[in-house]
Structure 1
């Protein structure tokens, strides 16, 4: 294995692994610290370790990220990525800066590029500022994210409060002089972090070439798409013909814990297309999560086998209650209703997979994806068909040996008809 990556959430991990896979690399996702036999990673070109650390306490995120890096070092990785969201989801405390600082120290390198740009999904960096489509990040829907509200757009302003390291900007004019000129500029820059502009895929190709010798890089999955593809049949090319994606024949399900406007539009499109939809009852989930899970499971089982039910919940900043409102709440703590919804949705998927009702699931939302994979006891994800930039099918085996197909989707990614069209790739 040549490349090891640490991803701060599960959707980002599959996003990066799918991008690497599309370039001809044999890539897979390992789930957190779950045990994976060495033979399952032997022969891979890249392994992405999926963590649930994006909004974890800083110390916890650093500890988990270093643990992931140590596993990758043990498997023979000699080049590393830190994968975070293309909208740079974080707060002034972290976790991107503290994790990068810890990885730089562990890997013995003095610098890393910062490249969240992913033009295929509308994320670009111009003059050091991050854009979402035609809007600056601070003017996009991410401004109102319940956990990581993004109220600034300049990446240096976002990263500097998180790290004592120097943050340098490399403009588009340098990028477009070509890989050699960009490499010289990166080498001449002060140690620390190098925010690099990228507006088009060709810019990502120049950055990928200029950083080919870097021990550590960071950013979104777009940077991986800048890699030169490996010719099929060449050494190191993914043997997709020799390892076909498994077939699945049971029922389908969509669960959405994301609050993004994209996911809301996808839910609305699914309802308009005739899919059965049901919103999680927040009050019932807070009062009795197990009862709400059971109610949703009963509803799904009562539907026609050919239907594609969509269970969704839109978290809001107001969905925060004293932990004492929950049966297991601790005194003085606060619990976001979105966390309770993750428990309900992951429990729903587990119940329906465990009894053989469902074996194909689309999950929208990074936190929800982490909860679902954790409840299923999955250790490794095999990358399958790509559905859209940043969205792919993956195959996994649960704790009790059941095969399941999963889409772990960032809330902001995918076509509006994804919940209807995703299944075509498995036909």
Structure 2
């Protein structure tokens, strides 16, 4: 592919001649979910509904409007990427054997995930106990409803022999199977099994904290207002992410196209989450000892507190927006369609960028309460390492998604037009490289 610098300059100044690649999710999908969530939050705040069941209703209030918008307005079920031919369902007799084999593969997968949960007692303590309760309640319906769902869907799939089928064929030993398809299937469900448990575990605390927060005098208190708004932004992020892990369905075109096949991608993602987290209290990358936060260092400086609080709220809003932009397709370590709108038209990694800027500004690692230069250097180096972890996560995502031509087109458009890549290129002197792979995925 030849790149003409003159043409690049023209397209930068004339967006109409260089349109942004279409996003896999419409802006309306996320807005619909946000409106539904806002309505339930108003009810919950009014009546003090701050419990875990109310938090689950919040997920429904977020997810149902998004599904309705996606199906009725966007008609995502008609997308060619679903792999579904709605016009010509096959006779059940033609796909019954395939469906039985696939159901065997699915049940084996779910049984394996359940066994891991049962063995790892970590999942039965603290907030994770709520996630396990949810799975226990949902499991019977999941197993039963999977039968009619698979029977119905396989009649309409253009190619019904997916990874679940290959796993079932391996289990039953009655058909040739593709090991690479099995590995891809297991990676996808490993992502869902690991991250959905984590997301469900943190749904009630964040929701309850936001609902219970007192509004008395909050508008005149920069710290209280900022903390409440930040809590709300994280609650939105978690709700949309949780809905994304739940609604992984091919008829909604939200299925997992592929899960990251690179070990480095998994390693650097998992160390950001329990039980593998390295940044937690006492962890190798815990940069907090000896430090304080922005409220300590700016105590008594009312104007600076307001300014800093506003910046931190804005950064958290961008972080939440980056998840909201996915609609119900958010998922770590996976490709579920390329997102090009919202903050992903500014930078390939809005969540990673805003999250790390938040940590640097809110912690100020060079300022320590001990007065020790060693502690200041240590905190700064460790926080730099944490940022490095997210940089590597971004690069492994780039490598994974770079196999998709749509993604490469988006990445090249970003190089030519997006503010952050162009700013970085200006600072570093890096020139545009055709075929450069960026990312439209976030955490």
Task: Give the TM-score of the pair, scaled to structure 1.
Answer: 0.30
Structure with the greater alpha carbon radius of gyration: 2
